[in-house]
């Protein structure tokens, strides 16, 4: 199916916070209470519309377990958006956010939009992390924040779509170089006519601009 843009997302966070369930809810609109441990990467995709444009979200769901971190971090590269998920009923998953954030920022591009998600909002009675704490963490680190429930589907659509909106705005502002696939954005097949432009070409006179090494 034709799309104007394709955005690559990653979902990261501790094991058992509901990353795979969020993905399943978003792509299949269903909830599966028993879910197998994720080891490698699992893919999901869905088409959304922003500003009248078809956008394909290509979502990479990663393993949360520390043991698989060596493979997981190689998937961060080239993502335009990340959902960083914790479980509001497990304080430790919130405490680990800083590590996840450092890891993500180190292995991905600096413009990546990160959405912080407190999942399992349906389990109010077992809540260990206040909503305000999530908000404060997001503010401090420049993230967008939202509480969701993969079980009731509350805010799940919004989480994925708002991240896409933010990426879309960054494209409009020219923050993302959409011709560089390392940014996790691809122009859809019908747009890809402007291919051959030599990127380094004109930097002109700027051996300086062209020969950057980092």
Partner 1 sequence: MLSRFSDVLQTAADVLAPPATRLEDFEYHWKMILNFYQNYDENNKLHVEETRIPHHLHQMLQLIVDEEKEQQGGTVGPCMEAIVQRSICLLDALCALAAAERPPGARALALTTGTALLRRTRQPCVNSAHVYRPLQRMLIQCNENPASPTEKEEVELLLTLCGLVRREPGLANIFTTPFVEDKSTLLSIPEDIQKLIPIRSKVGKEDNATCSSSADDNASCRSQKTVYDDNDKFLLIDLLLSYLNSADNQVVLRACEGIMIVSSLPEDDIANLVTSCSPACETIVHKLASKYRSIPANVDPSDVDHLNITWAYVAQDFGDKSYSKFHGYRELTSFFSWLDYCDTLMKECHPTIASHLSRTFRLNFLEGAAESGLTDLHHAVLVTAIVAKCLKVIDSPDLINEFSNWLVGEGEVSEWPLLLALVNNCLTDNHDLTLETLRFFETIIEKGTEHSIHRVVLARVISRGYCAPPPAFDDDERDRLNDMSIGREREYNREAMKQLQHEDHVNEQITDILVHEGLEPGLRPEHDNIHRVINSFLLLLPRAILSDPVGADYEHYIHDAHRRYQYWLDATSTFNWPADYNGVDTTASSTHSYDSRPEADIHLDEAFEPLKLEQKDPKQFSQRLVLRSRDLTSQNSHTEEEFDEGPFFKMIFKLLANMPSQPYQVNLHLTSIISQLALLPHPNLHEYLLNPMLPTAKKTPTLFKTLQEVARRLTMEIPRLRNFKKIIENTRLWLMSEDPSYDENADHNQLVESLIVLEEFCKELAAIAFVKYQHSLHMQR
Residues 153-182 that bind partner 1 (CB under 8 A): 179-182
Q: Which two tokens stand for residue 105?
A: 């920022």
Minimum CB distance to partner 1, residue 138 (Å)? 28
Q: Which two tokens stand for residue 202?
A: 């004109």
For partner 1, give the closer residue by CB, 142 or 208. 208
Minimum CB distance to partner 1, residue 103 (Å)? 14
Binder to partner 1 among 77, 126, 130, 139 (CB under 8 A)?
77
User: Among 71, 64, 21, which residue's Cα sits nearest to residue 44?
Assistant: 21
The pairing of strands 42-50 and 144-147 is unpaired
Q: Which two tokens stand for residue 31?
A: 């909830």
Distance CA 2, CA 55 (A): 9
Per-residue binder mask for partner 1 (CB under 8 A), 192-211, x = binder: x--xxxxxxxxxxxxxxxxx
Binder to partner 1 among 13, 18, 64, 78 (CB under 8 A)?
78
For partner 1, give the closer residue by CB, 18 or 134. 18
Minimum CB distance to partner 1, residue 197 (Å)? 4
User: Among 149, 153, 188, which residue's Cα sits nearest to residue 27?
Assistant: 153
Calculate the CA dihedral of residues 124, 127, 129, 135 and round it to 10 degrees: 0
User: 52's torsion region: left (phi>0), alpha (psi -120 to 50) or beta?
Assistant: left
Residues 13-52 that bind partner 1 (CB under 8 A): 34, 36-37, 39-41, 43
Q: Which two tokens stand for residue 75?
A: 């998937």
DSSP element (H, E) containing 169? helix 156-172
The site for partner 1, by CB under 8 A, has a size of: 44
Per-residue binder mask for partner 1 (CB under 8 A), 108-147, x = binder: ----------------------------------------
Minimum CB distance to partner 1, residue 188 (Å)? 9
Residues 52-71 that bind partner 1 (CB under 8 A): 58, 60, 65, 67-68, 70-71
Residue 32, classed as helix, strand or coil, is coil
């Amino acid at each position: 199916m034709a799309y104007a843009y394709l955005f690559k997302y990653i979902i990261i966070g501790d094991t058992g916070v509901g990353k795979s369930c969020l993905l399943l809810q978003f792509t299949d609109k269903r909830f599966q209470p028993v879910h197998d441990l994720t080891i490698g990467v699992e893919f999901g995709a869905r088409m959304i519309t922003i500003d009248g444009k078809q956008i394909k979200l290509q979502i990479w769901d990663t393993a949360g377990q520390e043991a698989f971190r060596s493979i997981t971090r190689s998937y961060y590269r080239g993502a335009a958006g990340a959902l960083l998920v914790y479980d509001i009923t497990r304080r430790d998953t919130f405490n680990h956010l800083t590590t996840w954030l450092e890891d993500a920022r180190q292995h991905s591009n600096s413009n990546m939009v990160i959405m912080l998600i407190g999942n399992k909002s349906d389990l109010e009675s077992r809540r260990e992390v206040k909503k305000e704490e999530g908000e404060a963490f997001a503010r401090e680190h420049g993230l967008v924040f939202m509480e969701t429930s993969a079980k009731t589907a509350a805010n799940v659509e919004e989480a994925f779509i708002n991240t896409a909106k933010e990426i879309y705005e960054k494209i409009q502002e020219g923050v993302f170089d959409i011709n560089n696939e390392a940014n996790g954005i691809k122009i859809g097949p019908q747009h890809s006519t402007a291919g051959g432009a030599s990127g380094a070409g004109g930097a002109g006179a700027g051996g300086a601009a062209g020969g950057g090494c980092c």
